[in-house]
Amino acid sequence: MLPQSLEMGGGAGSSSASASASAAIDIPALIDSHPVSTFQKWILLLVGCAVVMDGFDVQAMGFVAPAIVHAWGIEKAALGPVFGAGLFGMLVGSLVLSICADRIGRRPVLLGATVFFALCMLATAFTHTLDQLLAMRFITGIGLGGIMANASALASEYSPQRRRVTLMMWVSCGFTGGAVLGGLISAVLIPWGGWQSVFIFGGVVPLVIAALMARYMPESMQFLVLRGRRLDRVHQWLGRIAPGVRVGPGTRYVVHEAKQDGAPVVELFRAGRGPATLLLWGINFMNLLNLFFLANWLPTIAADAGYSARTAVLVGTLLQVGGVVGTVAMGPLIDRIGFYRVLVPVFAVAVVAIAVIGQPALPLAPLLAVVMVSGFCVVGAQPALIALASGVYPTTVRATGMGWSLGIGRAGSIVGPVLAGWLIGLHWTTSALFIAAAVPALLSCAMVLCMGRLKFTGAATVPAHVGEMK
């Protein structure tokens, strides 16, 4: 079976973390045995703000597309490759930057990626051709791909076990919140300053967030102990989490993991983690395929079914609203009873809800209800999958494991809308289309069920690593 922290949710840490009279400080246990401090909340807020702007900037093209079509006098279909370029860039960024984070640290990669995509957003405001726009969206996507996995890894490593999933999912929820916020802000900015103003806003605000992160955001303490770096800073940050902790010469910091120097991607398949890694990749691929399938095509299909433009927009919006509700609700539940007991029934419900969406002559009220339920299950489950990956992998490869899960998943986000367009082009009925869309949810359910039955050595079963204060 999965480690207890995954299967059963886990509880508060051991009181052995108290270092008032001990020369050894167990960092994870210390975090687990204390309330969440203002310092930890500030970290979660900072990385959450980065995730909000990640969501804003990923969706920026969708907000400005009609204005660009009008301003440049081009066909709407011409922007299709531009949308795909951004998603492909995020795929590349997730795969590459997550490995860098396990080599040099979460902080420099998260900070660098935020500055990078902010500058790219500003540069995008000065593009004048489709080729320039396509290139900038791909390059921007690379930076955006480094945000979610690293923000989630840092949030995980500063959260107590008893609330880890809840806090991580709330941070991840910032992505959806950023997309919703972006729509509201774009509606104000575009009439005032044109489509360029959206990209300028999307560049300036992340630069402000990056400045705050540079000043206040720490590195992962577990990462520093495993790498034997800056243990003086570890002492400083521990003091802000547990003010009573006392450290002197010879104090040892304990992290219950072994230091690993091999290739991070190879490590995803060692210590029995191979099957879990492949299943995580498959679940993320199927769920993001489903998510982008629904998000991109629900409003269009609703309009084709005869609903007004306002109703079609409402249908698409309720998918995201359901996702926010699902994220907020699932986190505490997973912390109490575990991933397996929550995600299996959630994906099972998603199968039914998605299939019902396409049923002919479905009245509006039931349609809105099943769309919101689908959002609760599909959109809301994605942050849970990120949190699940964080518990499968030890600190030394956590960012890589999370980044590659998301990267492979983002291949699904590219395939989903394209597959839907292809099926529509084959003149599939709406009913058949949504029955097909229910299949990825069914596969996700089956893979989570398989993952719950796996046996592999998780992060808690390897030897302790010790760093000593000089």
Rounded Cα gap, residues 155 and 36, in angstroms: 12
Rounded Cα gap, residues 325 and 321, in angstroms: 6
Residue pair 143/120 in contact by the 8 Å Cβ criterion: yes
CATH fold group of domain 26-228: Growth Hormone; Chain: A; (1.20.1250)
Rounded Cα gap, residues 404 and 281, in angstroms: 8
pLDDT single digits (tens) 195-209: 999 999 999 999 999
pLDDT at 470: 44
**So what CATH class is 262-459?**
mainly alpha
Return the percent helix, strand and coil in the chain, to nearest 5: 75, 0, 20
Rounded Cα gap, residues 70 and 190, in angstroms: 12
Length of the chain: 470
DSSP string, 212-274: HHHHHPPPPHHHHHHHT--HHHHHHHHHHH-TT----TT-EEEESS----S-HHHHTTTTTTH
466: helix, coil or strand? strand
Segment 464-469 mean pLDDT: 41
Q: Which amino acid type is present at position 234?
A: V
Residue pair 171/47 in contact by the 8 Å Cβ criterion: yes
pLDDT single digits (tens) 314-347: 787 788 889 889 999 999 999 999 898 999 999 9
Residue pair 201/189 in contact by the 8 Å Cβ criterion: yes
pLDDT single digits (tens) 262-281: 567 888 888 888 999 999 99
Same fold, 26-228 and 262-459: yes
Domain ranges of the chain: 26-228, 262-459
181 pLDDT higher than 90: no
Higher-pLDDT residue of 391, 42? 42
Report the percentage of the chain scoring pLDDT > 70: 89
294: helix, coil or strand? helix
Angle at 98 between CA 241 and CA 177, to 5 degrees: 70
User: In the numeric block, which tokens belong to residue 336?
Assistant: 């109490």
Angle at 272 between CA 269 and CA 278, to 5 degrees: 50
pLDDT single digits (tens) 119-161: 999 999 999 999 999 999 999 999 999 999 899 999 999 999 8
Rounded Cα gap, residues 290 and 40, in angstroms: 34
13 pLDDT higher than 80: no
Give the confidence band of 260 by pLDDT, cuts at 50, 70, 90.
low
pLDDT single digits (tens) 288-316: 999 888 887 787 777 777 777 677 767 87
